[in-house]
Amino acid sequence: MRLSVISFTDAGGRLGQRLCEKLNEIGCQAEHFDGRRRKESLSEWTGQAFSRYDGLIFIGACGIAVRAVAPFVRDKFTDPAVVVVDERAQFSVSLLSGHVGGANELARTVGMLIGAVPVISTATDVNGKFAVDVFAKENHLHLSDRTLAKQVSAAVLAGSRIPFYVDENAAELTGRMPEELMEVRSEEMFLSRKGIRAAVSAKRFLPGDQKNILYLIPASVTVGIGCRKEISPAVLKETAEKALERAGIFPEAVEQIATIALKKEESAIRNLAEEWKVPLVWYEAEELNALDGTFSCSSFVKEITGVDSVCERAAAAGSGGALILRKQAERGVTVAAAQRTVRIALEPAGTECGTDGRQRESAGSYTEQPEGESRK
C-alpha cells in the first residue's frame, strides 16, 4: 500500500517520520512530507497525492484534512483512504473511503503501531455486520452494480439475510458463512427468490430475474482466440465481445487472452489484449495437443496450425479449468472461454500493510508526550 503522511508542526513531523518507519517495517511504502516546507500549496499537494497514493495520512486536525481533500473527492470506489491522526497520537480517524479504499483497516493499523485509538464510523463496522464492499475487495471481486451493493448493505443493517449463491465452477468457499448471508446452493432456488440477492459468478444467469441480483465477479476467465491471418482488429474485437455477451460472461471476469504461438504476433489479437487491458499468453502446438479433454475439432485448422482446436485448447491451457463457452466461429474468428476456480475467504484474512490491527500482534507503540505530562 503506497501511503503519504503529511504533518504541519514539529511534534507532528516527529510522529510522521516515526509512523512511516513503522509502516514500512510491515510492508507499506510510506513517505513523510512536511507541510510547512512544501513549495506548492496544501491543495495542490493533495490533488497530486490523491492520484499517486493508495492512502493519505494527515497528522493534525480533521478540519485541515477535510478542506484539503474536499475538491478531489469523487466516490467510494475510486477515492484513496484518508486517515487523520492528532499530533499526540491519541486517535486514528478513518475519514474517507473506509471500506473500498481501506481507510478503516489503515486507521486500525496506524492505531496499533502508535498506540492510538482507531475511530471508525461506518455503519456496518459499528454494528459488527457483514460489509459486501469489504468482502469484494478482500477477495478481488468486481461488484456488478454499485447501487445494488448499497442496497445489500442497507438490507443487512435492517436485519435481513441476503440469499447468497456461489457458482461452483467460479469459486470455492473457505471459512464460516456470515450470519447475514443465507447460502442457496441450487441455482433454481436462488432465481426463485425475490428481493435483493448476491451471487459469486463470472456469468449472468440466462435466463432469470436480473434486476435484484448483485454479482460479485472473479477475474478468472481465459478467452481463447483463433483467427485467420491479418484479420481486421475491429472484426475480431466485435466478434469476441459478442460471443462473450451471448454467453453472459462479464467483461470484468476476463483475466487473460490465450492463443497458439503461431498467432502471438497477430496484430488484431495483440490490440484486443491492449484494449481489454489483460495479458496475452500463447502455447506451442505440442502443448495444446497434449491437453486431455473433449474439444471441438477441425481437420482444416489442424492442417494449418497443427492443432485441431485453437480457441478451446488455448482457453483450457490458460485457465487450467473447465470450458464455460464452447467454440464460437464467425467472420474468420473463433472464440472459446474457460474458467479457473478461485478461493473465496468468507472471513477476513488480513494483510501486512493496512490490516485490521485487532488481528495482529502489536508491533510496538509510539507516543510523544509533552514534558511533565502523561497519557491516561
Give every CB contact of residue 203 below 8 A, 6+ residues apart in sequence. 167, 247, 248, 249, 250, 253, 324
Domain boundaries, the chain: 2-121, 132-218, 221-339
Top CATH class, 221-339: alpha beta
Instruction: Write the Ramachandran bin of 223: left for phi over 0, alpha for psi from -120 to 50, otherwise beta.
Output: beta
Write down the pLDDT at residue 293.
Answer: 82
pTM given for the model: 0.73
Residue-wise pLDDT for 155-183, tens only, equals 999 999 999 999 988 999 999 999 999 99
Return the CATH architecture of domain 132-218.
Answer: 3-Layer(aba) Sandwich (3.40)
Around 100, how many Cα atoms within 13 Å sit in the side-chain half-sphere? 15
Write down the pLDDT at residue 365.
Answer: 31
3-class DSSP state of 201: coil
Assign a CATH topology to domain 2-121.
Rossmann fold (3.40.50)
| 366 has pLDDT over 70 | no
Q: How does residue 292 score in pLDDT terms, banded at 50, 70 and 90?
A: confident
Write down the pLDDT at residue 354.
Answer: 53
What is residue 203's DSSP assignment?
B
**Domain 2-121 matches domain 132-218 at the CATH topology level:** no
Write down the pLDDT at residue 260.
Answer: 93
Give every CB contact of residue 289 below 8 A, 6+ residues apart in sequence. 306, 307, 308, 313
Q: Average pLDDT, stretch 61-89?
A: 91
Q: Average pLDDT, stretch 65-77?
A: 90
Task: Round the average pLDDT of the chain to a whole number and report it.
Answer: 87
Write down the pLDDT at residue 305.
Answer: 76
**Alpha-carbon distance 285 to 349, whole Å?**
41
Residue-wise pLDDT for 99-150, tens only, equals 878 889 899 999 999 999 999 888 877 788 888 988 998 899 999 998 999 9
The position carrying cell 477475474 is 219
**Alpha-carbon distance 136 to 265, whole Å?**
36
